[in-house]
Amino acid sequence: MIELIRTNDPVVISYIEALLRDADIAHFVADQNMSILEGSIGVLPRRVLVTEDDATRARRLLKDAGFGGEMRLD
């Protein structure tokens, strides 16, 4: 899987999930349950992942939505 975005902001994660879901792009939010370990203070970032097959389309979608500067390049 390819990491698109890494952020501590739950609103950004929710918005990106909605964009990907509406575009029928399968995705996974990694580290979502780490809040149990950190005490829900938002220190550990969550990562939005997509398959390699969907990465180009997902990157284009997020860039068009204004998240181009926040996307992971590797």
Which CATH class, in words, describes the domain spanning 2-70? alpha beta
* pLDDT digit string (tens) for the chain, length 74 residues: 999 999 988 899 999 999 999 999 999 999 877 756 666 666 788 999 999 999 999 999 999 999 988 887 76
Between CA 37 and CA 45 the distance in angstroms is 13
| Adjacency order of strands within the sheet including 27-30 | 2-7, 46-50, 27-30
- How confident is the model at residue 60, as a pLDDT? 96
The pTM of the full predicted model, rounded to 2 decimals, is 0.84
